């Protein structure tokens, strides 16, 4: 049976230990998170006025890469919306406006200067710089945000980091160890520490499995051994802020369930047609 343990979590990041699974399942979940969990992003920009040094296309590109908070329960994917309109509706599109003018001094326009139609669909940070305006320059535009998937464009990826590694196993043979301290000195993550007359292990999940400590040990066989469990993984997820990390995992699992149901349905249909 699959075992999942929450190691740490905050508003944007989460670390899980997942046991009794294989690498193919972990990689499937990673790819679904990156490519198929939908989030909001600015997809179309109507520029009314732009006297800045940036061309309209570059300005639109920058706006598209600003992460937006996402409400998956209130909006539909454009291809699944009942409106069936290329322009969208209130169920599949949210509008953000921007109107800024530099009066005398040079000013920087930030993501926080965008005014959202729906407060739930707003930039995750107010301090993302968009463009600098010199005295007299002005920007006025409307930006249309829609749900999308990372496989279409990276701006729709819900995470900045999503990766996994094998769960490390570190063992020290205290009877064999001569306390030369070489493994402690070379460990890049400071996982091994000398305490009195012994070498202790701290924060083992930070181990990168580089095995430098094993190679540094002058004994044969080495007093320290670093291995990993083939069926246990440390899964790190860092959200862009568009969705909470636990919601990202939940959506990935729902998408995987749907894919498996579709696969089973097709197998059943093929079996019936071949009879």
Residues 6 or more apart from 207 whose CB is under 8 A from it? Answer: 168, 170, 189, 191, 226
In a domain? residue 255: no
Residues 146 and 90 in one domain: yes
In a domain? residue 253: no
Residue 213 has pLDDT above 80, yes or no: yes
Residues 25 and 57 in one domain: no
Domain enclosing residue 9, as ranges:
3-35+160-237
* DSSP letter, residue 123: B
Angle subtended at Cα 31 by Cα 260 and Cα 231, rounded to the nearest 5 degrees: 80
Looking at every residue in the chain, the average pLDDT score rounds to 93
Question: What CATH code is carried by the domain that includes residue 24?
Answer: 3.30.1360.10
Residues 49 and 138 in one domain: yes
Residues 46 and 82 in one domain: yes
170, 149 Cβ separation under 8 angstroms? no
90, 122, 152 - which closes a domain: 152
Residues 43 and 31 in one domain: no
Question: What CATH code is carried by the domain that includes residue 46?
Answer: 2.170.120.12
Residues 65 and 199 in one domain: no
In a domain? residue 213: yes
pLDDT in tens, 79-131: 999 998 888 899 999 999 999 999 888 999 999 999 999 999 999 999 999 99
The two three-digit tokens of residue 84, written as one number? 């069936």
68, 42 Cβ separation under 8 angstroms? yes
Give me the pLDDT at residue 196, please.
85
Residues 133 and 212 in one domain: no
Burial 92-122 (b: 16+ CB within 10 A, else e): bbbbbebebebeeeebebbbebbebbbeebb
Q: Please tell me the distance from the alpha carbon of residue 232 to that of residue 191, in angstroms, as a whole number.
A: 20
Residue 254 has pLDDT above 70, yes or no: yes
- Report phi then psi at 64, rounded to 5: -65, -25
Q: Please tell me the distance from the alpha carbon of residue 125 to that of residue 111, in angstroms, as a whole number.
A: 7
CA 198 to chain centre: 39
pLDDT in tens, 21-42: 999 999 999 999 999 999 999 9
Q: Please tell me the distance from the alpha carbon of residue 59 to that of residue 262, in angstroms, as a whole number.
A: 41
Tally of structural domains, the chain: 2
pLDDT in tens, 127-150: 999 999 999 999 999 999 999 999
Residues 46 and 85 in one domain: yes
Residues 167 and 195 in one domain: yes
Give me the pLDDT at residue 140, please.
97
130, 152, 174 - which closes a domain: 152
User: What band does 65 get if pLDDT is binned at 50, 70 and 90?
Assistant: very high
Compute the average pLDDT of residues 148-167. Answer: 96
Length of the chain in terms of residues written: 275
Q: What is the CA radius of gyration of the chain?
A: 25
Give me the pLDDT at residue 275, please.
66
Residue 186 has pLDDT above 70, yes or no: yes
198, 237 Cβ separation under 8 angstroms? no
Q: Please tell me the distance from the alpha carbon of residue 69 to that of residue 53, in angstroms, as a whole number.
A: 29
In a domain? residue 243: no
Angle subtended at Cα 170 by Cα 167 and Cα 173, rounded to the nearest 5 degrees: 160
Mutual angle of helices 245-274 and 23-35, in 10-degree steps: 110
In a domain? residue 88: yes
pLDDT in tens, 215-242: 999 988 899 999 998 999 999 999 999 9
């Amino acid at each position: 049976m699959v075992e999942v343990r929450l190691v740490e979590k905050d508003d944007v990041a989460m670390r899980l230990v997942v046991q009794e699974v294989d690498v193919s399942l972990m990689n499937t979940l990673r790819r679904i998170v990156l490519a198929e969990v939908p989030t909001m992003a600015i997809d179309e920009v109507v520029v009314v006025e732009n006297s800045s040094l940036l061309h309209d296309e570059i300005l639109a590109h920058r706006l598209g890469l600003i992460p937006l908070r996402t409400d998956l329960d209130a909006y539909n994917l454009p291809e699944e919306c009942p409106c069936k309109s290329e322009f969208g509706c209130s169920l599949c599109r949210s509008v953000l406006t921007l109107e800024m003018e530099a009066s005398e001094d040079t000013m920087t326009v930030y993501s926080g200067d965008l005014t959202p139609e729906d407060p739930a669909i707003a930039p995750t940070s107010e301090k993302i710089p968009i463009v600098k305006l010199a005295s007299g320059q002005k920007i006025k535009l409307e930006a249309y945000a829609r749900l999308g998937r990372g496989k279409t464009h990276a701006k729709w990826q819900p995470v900045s980091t999503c990766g996994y590694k094998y769960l490390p196993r570190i063992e020290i043979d205290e009877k064999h160890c001569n306390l030369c301290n070489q493994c402690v000195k070379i460990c890049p993550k400071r996982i091994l520490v000398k305490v009195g007359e012994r070498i202790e292990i701290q924060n083992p999940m930070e181990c990168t499995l580089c095995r430098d400590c094993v190679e540094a040990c002058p004994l044969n066989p080495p007093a320290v051994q670093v291995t990993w469990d083939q069926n246990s993984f440390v899964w790190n997820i860092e959200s862009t802020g568009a969705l909470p990390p636990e919601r990202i995992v939940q959506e990935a699992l729902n998408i995987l369930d749907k894919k498996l149901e579709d696969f089973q349905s097709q197998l059943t249909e093929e079996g019936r047609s071949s009879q």
